[in-house]
Structure 1
Amino acid sequence: MDEEKILFLLEKISDNMGNLNEAIIDLKSEVYTVKEEMADLKTEVYTAREAITDLKSEIYTAKEEIKKLGTKIDSEITDKIRALFDDRQVMHEKIDKINEKIDRIQIDVNNMTIKTLYHDNKIVELSKKLGNR
């Protein structure tokens, strides 16, 4: 009987060993799949790092261009704007002087008109006096 039990136990162990071997094979397959996924993940991380490095380079280049533009604005464009503003001031001053001269000329024209009317009236009066004689 002991032999039968031992034989029975050995058969069970043998059956379980088959199941255990299948489980080990499945586990190996899953480990291999995980390794492949890890390799894919490493590749994706490397690609992402390269993309980030490229972006950093582009950002650095953009910063340099912005600095150049800022310097150009500060030096060239700001000076030109100042020059235009100064020229505008000069033009306004000239226009103000011209307007003052026009105002004086208008006053002179008005005075001349008044004097002409006065003289015309005097001529008419003198003509009447001379005509009445």
Structure 2
Amino acid sequence: MGEATGYLGLFTSSFLAATLLPFYSEVLLAGLVKAGFDTLALLLVATAGNTLGAAANWVLGRYCEHYKDRRWFPFKEKSLGHAQRWFNRFGVWSLLLAWLPIGGDALTFVAGLMRVPFLLFFLLTGIGKAARYAVVILAMQPF
């Protein structure tokens, strides 16, 4: 695998992993670390892809609420109400947990619904996602 292909693959898988689609990027990241890719570059690429994927969820939440009564809408009204109450309870700082495999993607969607300012959303989400990828990279280092 060429270096550019590895980084592009990581960016793509990181982006998809942050959307509402079921996808994971940690395995590819671990493989690229083991293959000797630059770890700082991997951290930046994975974080950028994952944060931009989360931003796609924010945009969907921000601009698609008027479709919430449609059959294809990804969340039911009851689930949205529960998520919005949870978000109101814990606030924007909960976006630091947007990396969680369960609920993280929904959290970024709800942040859009709740009209969290985009720059604040992007900063908090990016910090959390960078921390998660840093842990994966560190776990792959020989001790």
Greater Rg over alpha carbons, structure: 1
TM-score by length of 2: 0.22
TM-score by length of 1: 0.23
Higher RCO (C-alpha 8 Å, min separation 6) = 2
Higher helix share: 1
